[in-house]
Amino acid sequence: MSRSPSSRGRRPDPAVDAKIRSAVLDLLLQRGLEMTMDEVAAHAGVGRASVFRRYATKRDMLLDGLAQLLDIQVAIPDTGSLAGDLRQVVVDTLAIWHDDRLAALSRQILGESGRDPVVADLVRTSMRDRMARTWAVYDRAIERGELRPDSDLWLLTDLFAGLVAYRGLLGLGLPDPDEVVRSLLYGFAATG
Amino acid sequence: MSRSPSSRGRRPDPAVDAKIRSAVLDLLLQRGLEMTMDEVAAHAGVGRASVFRRYATKRDMLLDGLAQLLDIQVAIPDTGSLAGDLRQVVVDTLAIWHDDRLAALSRQILGESGRDPVVADLVRTSMRDRMARTWAVYDRAIERGELRPDSDLWLLTDLFAGLVAYRGLLGLGLPDPDEVVRSLLYGFAATG
DNA sequence: CTATTTCCGATACTCATAGTATCTGATATG
DNA sequence: CATATCAGATACTATGAGTATCGGAAATAG
């Protein structure tokens, strides 16, 4: 073994930890995923070596930053009707893409998911958690008889999450929430 | 001026052009977007300088390769019913993601769209062309009274294109085509 | 045919940046 | 007090894009 868990000697300074993590988060929001290690160290007001003492690779550092970033809670709507609740969920999902800086960052993160499976995992988990937290909406709707009880809820959520991600990633115009809700609830078939 | 359009002197060898483009396409399919210029030159059996004579930057080279790759035609189904045609379109869209190599490449290309707007443009145009070519399906369906005449067809196509891209990008399981068609046509609302 | 221009392959160079190694001094533990 | 490890600073290594140059080949102008 090269080293034991170590109990003697100077301990890592928590203030330095915090300065680095905060600098990464800052740079992520300001400039996206593209940052050099020198910039992180400088922005944190810390030695370059201290960054590498905390993260073996740049990727590890960014993954930690992304994990912080994606760990955001969302409110569960309860408007009384499925259409109202669903609209709120769609609007919340769209909100990220209406802020230019957040949209650019989201594009880059989604993009990184295409090259790094671990990032894809982070995003997947974060989206899944987020969506699962809206399950209450659909449970209530099924009880009220507004939603087919045999609905594939993952399909339902992924249809609009996918639509928004797809349009956002490719820089297409974002959809109107009401149109989305109507399509999801009643479909495109002519009524007859 | 440093040079005129040039009419004298040795002309660029079309065989070298072809060898390079073919090598790029080859490497794209074999290993995705990650290739060094040395590899391209070696794989083409050509000098490194000849690659840079054709493309000012690696990005330009990859964009040309991607343009070749994305320029693929798709058949327009005509099964007689909207459900049948739509199912075929969905199945065709899913097909790419069922081939491991193509799926990996698609992930990388979608990913690159998140960092390079020009790639996003390529993908957007390619998808738009592809989808627009299926307009005939929806026109016929409207005539037959199977589809609401006021349908937002971009919303319809982007809903399933987005679903598939989203699931594929994040490595989630791909949906069942019949479920997708049913959801798109009739929605999730309880009938009553 | 000859001179000129531009291509070809090869090679060496510059530059940016991730990651490693080392040094001096500070600090915590035994 | 002795030792291990951290902090900051700095220098080094390695990779790969893009540039510069060279000797030779091929095409064109005259």
B62-101 pLDDT tens trace = 999 999 999 877 899 999 999 999 999 999 999 999 999 9
Q: Are B91 and B156 in contact (CB under 8 A)?
A: no
- For nucleotide C9, the protein residue with its alpha carbon nearest to C1' is B47
Res A73: pLDDT: 78
Residue B93: closest CA among B101, B102, B83, B81: B102
Chain A residues with beta carbon closer than 8 angstroms to that of B126: none
* pTM (two decimals): 0.93
> Which 8-state DSSP code applies to residue B149?
T
Q: Residue A128 and residue A101: Cα distance in Å, rounded? A: 23
Share of chain A above pLDDT 70, in %: 96
> How far apart are the CA of A43 and the nearest CA of chain B, in angstroms?
23
Q: Is A172 on the interface with B (CB under 8 A)?
A: yes
* Whole-Å CA distances, B57 to B45, B49, B54, B61, B91: 19, 12, 9, 7, 37
Closest CB from A110, A117, A179 relative to B114: A110
Q: Is A96 on the interface with B (CB under 8 A)?
A: no
Encode chain A (192 residues) as per-residue pLDDT tens digits. 334 456 788 999 999 999 999 999 999 999 999 999 999 999 999 999 999 999 999 999 999 999 999 987 789 999 999 999 999 999 999 999 999 999 999 999 999 999 999 999 999 999 999 999 999 999 999 999 999 999 999 999 999 999 999 999 999 999 999 999 999 999 999 986
Q: Residue B10 and residue B8: Cα distance in Å, rounded? A: 7
- Chain D bases closer than 7 A to any CB of the protein: 3-11, 16-22, 24-29
Residue type, B161: A
Q: Which of B107, B125, B143, B170 to mutate to test the interface with A (most CBs of A within 10 A)?
A: B170
A147-171 pLDDT tens trace = 999 999 999 999 999 999 999 999 9
Residue A163 CA from chain centroid, whole number: 15
Residue B93: closest CA among B137, B63, B148, B62: B137
Q: Is B167 on the interface with A (CB under 8 A)?
A: yes
* Whole-Å CA distances, A126 to A73, A76, A129: 10, 15, 5
